[in-house]
């Protein structure tokens, strides 16, 4: 049977797919992109007797094409934790969707596989910045501190590779990065042996070094905003930088603005870790905004709306 695997190019998308294919191998066609390329189902053609598996992209953002595929007779299996809206009722759709805080797509696959490849789900939860979930799973499977820390780094590096304006900004096309992890059932073997792992670790280290000299354009006790330069390193590191700033200043909300190829800004917003609410409602006030309560973004903030955004950001999180 023809199989198409459609996945977000971040740690969660990769690890969700990887777990399922370790358990149920299939020679699949791959459809993926950068973290923000979420309208992936529009690229898929499939019909009767064909199977599409989808990992870690919002159903709501792909609804029309999901319905198109189902009506064409394809079977679709869907794993996701982003805003879904109403889930279409169709006999050919199996939806594993849970938008609860602290649940990522890889944890939904892990649940279906009864924990068969849980270490990859732990890395993914770290990648999505769900530290409490990741640590709880690590404890449950008896990993020690150093092992847990290795999976934390793995999740962060895989996630780091997904940020960019286009796949040209990334160290690896996410489909190629999946090819690198695919031979490894054991994430610790991937960490020890893979050159891809070493390259991502070095890349993140270099990009964070470049970010060291950044100073906030807005900063108080409740929020801070940074403007990044128009450079591939800045587009790659923005998401990781946002997570790191959030983890080291848990009472503060953060916003990062990075110039993109549309002459606009790509915006990453993180709600305070201590009260992870409201990032999505702020971003949804802007045309291309979306995301989750704790972490959201705006894909194309027109340059002339930057000031308006900063004012709204300050107002939204400033008390």
Residues that bind Mn ion (CB under 5 A): 12, 56, 104, 128
Please state, in angstroms and as integers, the Cα–Cα distance from residue 109 to each residue in 12, 64, 139, 184, 301, following that order: 10, 24, 19, 17, 34
Specify the pairing of strand 253-259 against strand 223-227.
Answer: parallel
Closest CB 219 distance from Mn ion, rounded Å:
29
Q: State which residue, 223 or 273, has the beta carbon closest to Mn ion.
A: 273
The dihedrals phi and psi of 141, each to the nearest 5 degrees, come to: -95, 10
Closest CB 104 distance from Mn ion, rounded Å:
5
Q: Both tokens of residue 40?
A: 């992936």
For the chain, how far is it from start to end, CA to CA, in angstroms? 55
Tell the residue number behind the tokens 């993109």, with chain if given: 260
Q: State which residue, 20 or 264, has the beta carbon closest to Mn ion.
A: 20
For the chain, the maximum distance between any two Cα atoms, rounded to a whole number of angstroms, is: 57
Q: In the complex, which residue's CB is closest to Mn ion? A: 12
Closest CB 57 distance from Mn ion, rounded Å:
9
Q: State which residue, 50 or 128, has the beta carbon closest to Mn ion.
A: 128
C-alpha count within 13 angstroms, C-beta hemisphere, residue 103: 15
Residue ranges of alpha helices (H) inside 85-194 are 105-112, 118-127, 131-140, 145-160, 174-181, 187-193
Q: State which residue, 12 or 110, has the beta carbon closest to Mn ion.
A: 12
Closest CB 73 distance from Mn ion, rounded Å:
29
Q: How many residues does the chain have?
A: 319
Closest CB 10 distance from Mn ion, rounded Å:
6
Q: State which residue, 34 or 259, has the beta carbon closest to Mn ion.
A: 34
């Amino acid at each position: 049977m023809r199989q198409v695997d459609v996945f977000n190019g971040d740690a969660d998308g990769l690890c969700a797919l990887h777990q399922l294919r370790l358990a149920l191998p299939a020679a699949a066609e791959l459809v993926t992109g950068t973290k923000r390329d979420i309208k992936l189902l529009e690229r898929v053609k499939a019909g009767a007797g064909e199977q599409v598996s989808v990992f870690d992209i919002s159903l709501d953002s792909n609804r029309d094409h999901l319905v198109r595929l189902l009506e064409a007779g394809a079977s679709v299996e869907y794993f996701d934790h982003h805003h879904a809206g109403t889930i279409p009722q169709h006999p050919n759709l199996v939806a594993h969707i849970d938008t609860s805080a602290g649940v990522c797509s890889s944890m939904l696959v892990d649940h279906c596989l009864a924990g068969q490849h849980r270490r990859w789900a732990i890395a993914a939860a770290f990648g999505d910045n769900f530290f409490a979930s990741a640590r709880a799973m690590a404890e449950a499977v008896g990993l020690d501190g150093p092992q847990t820390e290795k999976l934390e780094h793995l999740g962060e590096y895989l996630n780091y590779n997904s940020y960019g304006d286009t796949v040209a900004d990334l160290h690896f096309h996410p489909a190629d990065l999946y090819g690198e992890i695919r031979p490894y059932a054991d994430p610790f073997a991937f960490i020890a042996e893979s050159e891809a792992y070493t390259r991502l670790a070095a890349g993140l280290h270099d990009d964070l070094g470049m970010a060291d000299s950044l100073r906030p354009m807005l900063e108080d006790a409740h929020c801070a905003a940074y403007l990044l330069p128009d450079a591939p390193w800045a587009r790659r590191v923005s998401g990781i930088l946002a997570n790191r700033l959030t983890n080291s200043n848990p009472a503060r909300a953060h916003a990062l603005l990075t110039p993109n190829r549309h002459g606009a800004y790509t915006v990453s917003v993180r709600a305070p870790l201590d009260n992870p609410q409201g990032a999505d409602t702020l971003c949804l006030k802007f045309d291309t905004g979306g995301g989750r309560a704790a972490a959201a973004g705006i894909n194309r903030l027109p340059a002339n709306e930057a000031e308006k955004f900063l004012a709204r950001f300050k107002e939204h999180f400033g008390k």
